[in-house]
């Protein structure tokens, strides 16, 4: 069975804790980050099986406000781990700009995209499928390298 560790990157502490409780109840080990910079640091230190990140974070680097910090985080993770299982969460109140960013996130390798508020069942289902896909990609690469 694939590891069940999730990194939750969410700037709102209340939402971050709600997601933590959801994943803990589903049997995951949870790592938390309040912005993209923290998320990247935690990712580099632990390489979790799954990353759940919001799209519209206000911060990416050292307290600096960066537009599109969620996309920047996704790019960095993808460069460091092309098999990363990432689920992106967006806020529909941001409108057309967020739809473009949604498409960009999928092109950058996000497994799934959900608008907030997201159904707990949908999020957990996508999390399981994303981890399974990651494991299959890793196993395929290992077989190809072994040949």
How far is 36 from 76, CA to CA, in rounded Å? Answer: 10
The predicted-structure confidence for 85-137, as pLDDT tens digits, reads as follows 999 998 776 655 567 777 888 888 999 999 889 999 999 999 999 999 999 99
Global confidence as pTM: 0.88
Percent of the chain with pLDDT over 90: 59
**Residue 45: CATH number of its domain:** 3.40.50.2300
Q: Which domain holds residue 133?
A: 5-146
Q: How many domains are contained in the chain?
A: 1
């Amino acid at each position: 069975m694939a590891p069940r560790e999730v990194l939750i990157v969410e700037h709102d502490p209340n939402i971050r804790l709600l997601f933590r409780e959801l994943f803990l109840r589903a049997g995951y080990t949870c790592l938390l980050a309040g912005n993209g910079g923290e998320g990247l640091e935690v990712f580099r230190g632990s390489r979790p099986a799954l990353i759940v990140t919001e799209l519209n974070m206000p911060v990416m680097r050292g307290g600096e406000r960066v537009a599109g910090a969620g996309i920047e985080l996704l790019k960095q993770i993808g460069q460091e781990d092309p098999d990363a299982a990432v689920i992106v969460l967006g806020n529909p109140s941001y409108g057309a700009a967020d739809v473009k960013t949604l498409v960009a996130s999928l092109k950058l390798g996000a497994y799934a995209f959900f608008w907030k508020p997201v159904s707990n069942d949908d999020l957990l289902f996508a999390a399981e499928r994303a981890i399974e896909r990651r494991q299959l990609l890793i196993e395929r690469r290992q077989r190809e390298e072994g040949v």
